[in-house]
Amino acid sequence: MKKELLVASALVSTLGAAGIAEAASSTISGHHKVGVVGKDLDSSSTNSRASDQQSTFTVSISETTDSGIKISTGFDLAEESSGSATHDPSGLTLTFTDGSKLDLIEAGTATGSHAVSVPGAGGEQGISATTINNAPTAITMGAASDAVGFEYHTAADAFGVEGLKASVSFASNDVALVTQTSQTASIETSYSVGVTYVTDAGDSTVTVGAGLVEATNNNSKTTEENSAMHVGLTAVTGDLTVGVGYGTGTFVATAGDLVQVDGDFTSAGAKYVSGDITFAVGVTSAEGKDEAYGTAFSSAADARDTVGASIAYAVASGVTATLGYTDIDDKNEGAASTNTSGSSWYVGATISF
């Protein structure tokens, strides 16, 4: 349950200063996950079981001007998948009276805003790939940008078409430049567009999303840039949701394994809700040829394929129990990677507020 915190009057009465500006409205939300993850690798490594505890706490802050423009921001305090607590502040979002929005600072990319949500297995199961496997992990490959920029979102009737939303984003930060001979690379300038169209087709609600991103980096040794596109579709018919997504393009690794990658990613899945129970299945397939900066793509591809399923049960309001299973096939330079392939399962619960 979200709690609204209005602290203006308390500040005034406590400090005894009637001239202090009122505080903006805020809400808090978050969740805590508790479970067990099991892994059965294809290598000779011993099978493992480990506890999995993850938490996130989100504060959303907003206020509306006299002219009706909503100004919002927020931050997250999280301890998920990183092993240590993180603080993730947001930029500013201006929501105008016609329903359009403008994100400023930490705006992201328009292509990422319009990636369809393809159903897939729930749960925290999984096996981490090695840093030398550079097969893409999502249809939004290459969707990187510097935080100094903006993203504009139309209302839900862009260009007079009911159900159509569009976004455009731009980011550039010249002060991030590094020495041209450095083996690192930083995103310098990015341009991105994205669209989503929602319509009814008989008894189904169909959503189509697509996006495109182009980004330059500041390392002269790279002969490729971030240039990628994606398209996806979901259809909801009653309690059944099905979806597919596809992304393709090139991108430059900016840290870790310093390479440029030419990759593809495909996902498909379905979800069915029956009362308090949700069944979900999903498959993904990814390939990526990775080469050192400035080298033509000629090697065998890294690959990562997954098949998963899950059952989620709503135990009570805000409490969900989940059982998930995923099988993973990992390859590096075309050769099987047995220490990052195998099966993984998860049993746990999520408590949200």
Task: Give the per-residue pLDDT at 104.
Answer: 94
Model confidence band, residue 147 (pLDDT cutoffs 50, 70, 90): confident
Give the pLDDT band of residue 78 (cuts 50, 70, 90).
confident
* Of residues 107 and 51, more confidently modeled: 51
Mean pLDDT (whole number) for 128-154: 90
The pLDDT confidence band at residue 44, using thresholds 50, 70 and 90, is confident
| Mean pLDDT within 253-279 | 91
pLDDT for position 176: 54
Q: State the chain's mean pLDDT as an integer.
A: 87
pLDDT, residue 88, reads 81
The token duo for 284 is: 């993904």
> What is the 3-state secondary structure of the chain?
CCEEECCHHHHHHHHCCCCCCCCCEEEEEEEEEEEEEEEEECCCCCCEEEEEEEEEEEEEEEEECCCCCEEEEEEEEEECCCCCCEEEECCEEEECCCCCEEEECCCCCHHHHCCCCCCCCCCCCCCCCCCCCCCCCCCCCCCCCCCCEEEEECCCEHHHCCCEEEEEEEEECHHHCCCCCCCCCCEEEEEEEEEEEEEEECCEEEEEEEEEEEEEECCCCCCCCEEEEEEEEEEEECCEEEEEEEEEEEEECCCCCCEEEEEEEEEEEEEEEECCEEEEEEEEEEEEEEEECCCCCCCCCEEEEEEEEEEEEEEECCEEEEEEEEEEEEEECCEECHHHCEEEEEEEEEEEC
Question: pLDDT-derived band of residue 4, with 50, 70 and 90 as boundaries?
Answer: very low
Domains of the chain: residue spans and CATH? 3-352 (2.40.160.10)
Secondary structure letter of residue 176 according to DSSP = G
User: What confidence tier does 218 reach under pLDDT thresholds 50, 70, 90?
Assistant: confident
pLDDT at 232: 98
Average pLDDT (154-176) is: 88
Whole-angstrom distance, CA of residue 177 vs CA of residue 188:
7
The bridge status of strand 302-316 relative to strand 277-292 is antiparallel
Band of pLDDT at residue 183, cut at 50, 70 and 90? low
Residue 38: its pLDDT value, please?
96
Task: Give the separation between CA 177 and CA 191, rounded to whole angstroms.
Answer: 18
Tokens standing for residue 65: 């001007």
Greatest mean pLDDT among 2-16, 125-139, 149-163, 209-223: 149-163
pLDDT at 61 over 90: yes
What's the confidence (pLDDT) of residue 86?
Answer: 76
pLDDT at residue 276, as a whole number: 97
pTM for this entry: 0.87
**Sorting pLDDT into bands at 50, 70 and 90, what band is 184?**
confident
Residue 186 has pLDDT above 70, yes or no: yes
Q: b/e map of 108-133 (b: 16 or more CB within 10 Å)?
A: bbbbbbbbbebbbbbbbbbbebeeeb
